[in-house]
Amino acid sequence: MRFGELVHLVWINILESKFKVFLTSLGVIVGAATIVLVVAVGHGGEVQVQEQYKTLNAGSINVSVSTQAEMRDQIIGGMTGGGPFGGEWGGQAPGGETGGYGNRTAGRGGAPAGGAAGGFADRSGGTVRKQTVTLSGTDVEDIADLVPGLSYLSLYNTGTASVNGGDLTEDTDCTVVGVSPNYKDMCNLELLEGDFLTEDDVDGKSKTAVIGYTLAQNIFGSAYSAYGENLVIEGKTYEIAGVLAKMGSVSSGTSPDDSIFIPYSTGVKYVFGNDADPQIIAIAADVNDVESVIGSIKAVLSDDHPDASFTVADAGGTLESATASARTLSSLLLAVAAIVFVVGGIGIMNVMFVSVKERTQEIGILKALGTSRGEILLEFLLEAMSISILGGILGVAAGFALVPAARLAGITVEPLAASGAYAMAFAVGTGTAFGFYPAWKASRLLPVEALAQE
């Protein structure tokens, strides 16, 4: 029998059982649609990560203190004051007046931050513990003098503070970041309106603020409307000198869209006080030297503070970790899609066994007319593959059709044309793998027994 005749025979059998073929291919349809959506969700996750961290400077390094007291607090559920989203601040008493730190090549202004960090409330017992180490201007100077390969170096402070103004009807806790003027260039911040903080703001401890895009919208109704308005932060009135464009996350881990930036010295004096827990942000001049620079920074800090431990993270590692998480999720979803295909393949196998049983006499007639085992096997294998290919086409179409619905549901999806090819490859493989054994069984039937079958 010629190949064209086999194809024609397969086509006739499919047309005679259209509804059964559709039901048989449902598993493959679901599997193919799942693969298209899984790839779209996975790629969307990676795009979202890249968009979220688009402002990360590839050579940026963030340094923070991680003491044993803090780790114990985290274990027992206590609240710490450090980090972008720290817990309750243990008081707002003004601390030492500290200037900002600029580009290490352009000089640094102000006196080093002195004193230990403030206390942290322990929920379990009400006792107060203190950090033994606080990063200061002295640490910045030591790193600048002893660590080569740095283009920028600066202290910054992050925490929550009570904010009022604009459309707010009551005090609201917001993220406030005390920075030096070069923080804008270090974190690739872009301004929508106005200007960023200046050296004069730092030197004069001025009550000037720069507000993030999303926070400006939430407080003033519009990002553009926030420019030139006033905000009350911890009882002090600040003028908004600038509004940031929508950004994402930055090297320090802070989201500028939801933050208020004030001069570092102003933050120490009026917002953070003795509870200030400064961190250091540095920029390596050469991205390829980040690892060696991190090692040098750790060595300098270990020499200065032998009893403390430090967390030193680079932006590249942060981005890589987030992207790896998105890829892991994609792999898990692909595994689910593969399981769906297996279920669909089992359905095809069962239907093909039934089809072989129902067409036993047809097989006997074909063999009596001289059709070989290989041709019988090929006929039933082509039939199984045709069912899976049909399911694959319908599934791919359904998957791409569901992309807008997924977006309406708030899921970030970025469909790829290659996902259609992946789905079709899975469909063909499923039909071939699960249709082979029924086809082989059909080819092994003896003509006399097949013709005698009722």
Do residues 209 and 220 touch, judged by C-beta distance below 8 A? no
Which range (32-46, 186-200, 302-316, 440-454) has the least confidence? 440-454
* pLDDT (0 to 100) of residue 304: 86
pLDDT tops 60 at residue 120: no
* pLDDT (0 to 100) of residue 49: 61
* pLDDT (0 to 100) of residue 106: 36
Q: Which residue has the tokens 């970030």?
A: 412
Which range (95-104, 170-179, 331-340) has the least confidence? 95-104
Comparing CA positions, the residue from 258, 279, 241, 55 lying closest to residue 176 is 258
Angle at 250 between CA 247 and CA 256, to 5 degrees: 50
For residue 298, what are its two tokens? 């750790």
pLDDT tops 80 at residue 366: no
pLDDT tens readout for residues 153-182: 888 988 889 999 998 889 999 999 999 998
Alpha-carbon distance of 365 to 379, in angstroms, equals 14
pLDDT tops 80 at residue 111: no
Query: Which comes out higher in pLDDT, residue 94 or 338?
Result: 338
Comparing CA positions, the residue from 86, 70, 84 lying closest to residue 122 is 70
What is the pLDDT confidence band of residue 210, given thresholds at 50, 70 and 90?
Answer: very high
pLDDT tops 70 at residue 250: no
For residue 308, what are its two tokens? 């403390």
Angle at 326 between CA 325 and CA 332, to 5 degrees: 90
What is the pLDDT confidence band of residue 451, given thresholds at 50, 70 and 90?
Answer: low
* pLDDT (0 to 100) of residue 199: 92
Comparing CA positions, the residue from 232, 100, 112 lying closest to residue 176 is 232
Give the total residue count for the chain: 454
Query: Which comes out higher in pLDDT, residue 125 or 263?
Result: 263
pLDDT tops 50 at residue 66: yes
What is the pLDDT confidence band of residue 447, given thresholds at 50, 70 and 90?
Answer: low
pLDDT average, residue stretch 350-366: 76
* pLDDT (0 to 100) of residue 127: 39
* pLDDT (0 to 100) of residue 332: 76
The three-state secondary structure class of 243 is strand
Which range (82-91, 184-193, 212-221, 284-293) has the least confidence? 82-91
As beta bridge partners, residue 232 has 164, 237
* pLDDT (0 to 100) of residue 323: 62
Alpha-carbon distance of 233 to 339, in angstroms, equals 55
* pLDDT (0 to 100) of residue 195: 93
What is the pLDDT confidence band of residue 65, given thresholds at 50, 70 and 90?
Answer: confident
pLDDT tops 70 at residue 74: no
Query: Which comes out higher in pLDDT, residue 307 or 184?
Result: 184
Alpha-carbon distance of 130 to 233, in angstroms, equals 25
The type of residue at 171 is D
The three-state secondary structure class of 246 is coil
* pLDDT (0 to 100) of residue 39: 83
pLDDT tops 90 at residue 261: yes
* pLDDT (0 to 100) of residue 416: 82
pLDDT tops 60 at residue 53: no
What is the pLDDT confidence band of residue 105, given thresholds at 50, 70 and 90?
Answer: very low
* pLDDT (0 to 100) of residue 71: 46
Q: Which residue has the tokens 């049983």?
A: 357
pLDDT tens readout for residues 236-245: 999 999 999 9
pLDDT tops 60 at residue 329: yes
Q: How many CB atoms within 10 Å of residue 74? A: 12
Half-sphere exposure of 242 (CA within 13 A, CB side): 22
pLDDT tops 50 at residue 107: no
pLDDT average, residue stretch 410-427: 83
